[in-house]
């Protein structure tokens, strides 16, 4: 028996239970057959399409847009019903407890039809919130670009760089793009920041260099007087596809690296550059991907060869676990680190200054925004593009602008 059969049977059984509870809630509220069976048919079609795409896709194709849309509609069918399940299952538990008490005490049970209907109304009302949020995220939220601005003060910043501005973008994932007008809006928004330098912190594609071909001219139009610099992310190595030969994979990796000069970016492969202004300079250090549970091609020591400890340093590293595990306590003192990778899982709730939550925080200690420890900072950009799920809910695409100030 193939290894995937048992997990598939378990998942299918859970989906059937979920659908039965959701259908029960709908049936309690309406006798309209169109509504009742339309709800059921939508779910079945979403599940069938998702499994069809998984089992029929060519493994050499990597993650396709077809898969992303199948995953999106699967979530659209599944997630709201989880809320229904919680309420309806809870009501069942209460009902059976009451029946047990009635049986033991020889008292008649009270009618529960009215309560059942009331609980169904609450469950479906709450389930409508994630349903509407997912719809918005798929069709609008993934292009809801936000410019987040920070001002950071350092005692050891050279005076010439007081007021120096950095625009950081990350996780373009060009293979997911499907709307040139919206992407152009994002590009224009980056240029409107008029920053001194633009830094891109990895994942320019999902898997294949050719994914960037339609977008080269657009990203080539990005402008910054002090230059544009970039690094690689975990998706840039072609590790998420089955290749016919190792040579094919190597050729794709070389083609990915060649994208960067085509769009005017200086790709740093475990190396550094100095940015100079009025006779003073700061070091820009860029490493290849290094992440907990991911490729560890980054070599911080190699990238920093020729950089002095007293230099002010900006480190570009794709995965924030690198900062947490290796960088933040390094005696060489990397004052500012820029990362991406997490996307904030593209799903969560953020109320600036009050509350923020995402499933991403259970995986990454630094998952979105600015963090400081030992007087050193890391900014985890939420990403410009999107991946796997073709949308964003509550965690919007980000353009970060950081102004450096001399203390």
Residue-wise pLDDT tens digits, 92-139? 677 777 777 776 776 555 555 566 677 777 877 888 899 999 999 999
Is the pLDDT reported for residue 167 higher than 70? yes
Q: What is the pLDDT of residues 54-104, one digit of tens each?
A: 888 776 777 788 889 999 988 998 888 888 777 777 766 777 777 777 767
3-state percent helix, strand, coil for the chain, nearest multiple of 5: 50, 20, 35
Tokens of 205: 């594609």
Is the pLDDT reported for residue 394 higher than 70? yes
Instruction: Give residue 26's pLDDT.
Output: 75
Mean pLDDT of 145-167: 98
Distance CA 155, CA 160 (A): 13
Report the predicted TM-score, pTM, of the whole model to 2 decimal places: 0.90
Distance CA 123, CA 24 (A): 11
Instruction: Give residue 37's pLDDT.
Output: 77
Instruction: Give residue 254's pLDDT.
Output: 98
Instruction: Give residue 109's pLDDT.
Output: 54
Q: What is the pLDDT of residues 262-312, one digit of tens each?
A: 999 999 999 999 999 999 999 999 999 999 999 999 999 999 999 999 999
Domains within the chain, CATH numbers bracketed: 5-139 (no CATH), 145-406 (3.60.21.10)
Residue 280 DSSP SS3: strand
Kindly tell me the burial class for residue 254, based on how many C-beta atoms sit within 10 Å of its own C-beta (0-12, 13-18, 19 or more): exposed
Q: What is the pLDDT of residues 196-210, one digit of tens each?
A: 999 999 999 999 999
């Amino acid at each position: 028996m193939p290894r995937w059969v048992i997990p598939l049977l378990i998942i299918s059984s859970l989906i059937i239970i979920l659908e039965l509870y959701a259908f029960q809630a709908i049936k309690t509220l309406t006798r309209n057959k169109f509504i009742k069976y339309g709800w059921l048919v939508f779910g079945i079609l979403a599940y069938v399409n998702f499994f069809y795409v998984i089992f029929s896709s060519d493994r050499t194709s990597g993650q396709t847009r077809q898969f992303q849309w199948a995953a999106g509609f699967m979530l659209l069918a599944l997630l709201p019903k989880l809320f229904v399940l919680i309420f309806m299952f809870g009501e069942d538990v209460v009902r059976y407890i009451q029946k047990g008490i009635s049986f033991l005490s020889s008292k008649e049970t009270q009618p529960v039809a009215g309560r059942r209907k009331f609980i169904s109304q609450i469950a479906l009302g709450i389930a409508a919130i994630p349903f509407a949020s997912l719809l918005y995220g798929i069709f609008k939220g993934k292009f809801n670009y936000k410019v987040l601005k920070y001002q950071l003060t350092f005692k050891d910043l050279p005076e010439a760089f007081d007021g120096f501005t950095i625009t950081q973008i990350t996780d373009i994932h060009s293979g997911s793009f499907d709307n040139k007008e919206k992407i152009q809006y994002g590009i224009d928004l980056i240029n409107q920041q008029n920053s001194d330098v633009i830094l891109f912190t990895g994942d320019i594609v999902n898997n294949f260099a050719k994914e960037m071909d339609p977008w080269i001219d657009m990203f080539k139009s990005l402008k910054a007087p002090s230059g544009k610099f970039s690094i690689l992310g975990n998706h840039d190595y072609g590790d998420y596809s089955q290749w016919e030969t190792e040579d094919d994979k190597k050729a794709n990796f070389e083609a990915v690296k060649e994208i960067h000069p085509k769009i005017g970016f200086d790709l740093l492969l475990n190396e550094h550059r100095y940015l100079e202004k009025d006779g003073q300079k700061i070091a820009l250090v860029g490493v290849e991907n290094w992440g907990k549970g991911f490729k560890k091609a980054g070599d911080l020591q190699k990238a920093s060869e020729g950089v002095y400890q007293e230099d002010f340093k900006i480190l570009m590293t794709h995965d924030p676990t690198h900062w947490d595990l290796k960088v933040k306590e390094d005696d060489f003192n990397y004052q500012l680190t820029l990362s991406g990778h997490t996307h904030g899982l593209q799903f969560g709730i953020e109320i600036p200054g009050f509350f923020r939550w995402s499933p991403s925080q259970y995986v990454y200690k630094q998952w979105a925004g600015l963090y400081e420890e030992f007087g050193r900072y890391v900014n985890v950009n939420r990403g410009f593009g999107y991946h796997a799920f073709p949308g964003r809910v509550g965690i919007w695409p980000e353009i970060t602008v950081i102004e450096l100030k001399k203390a």
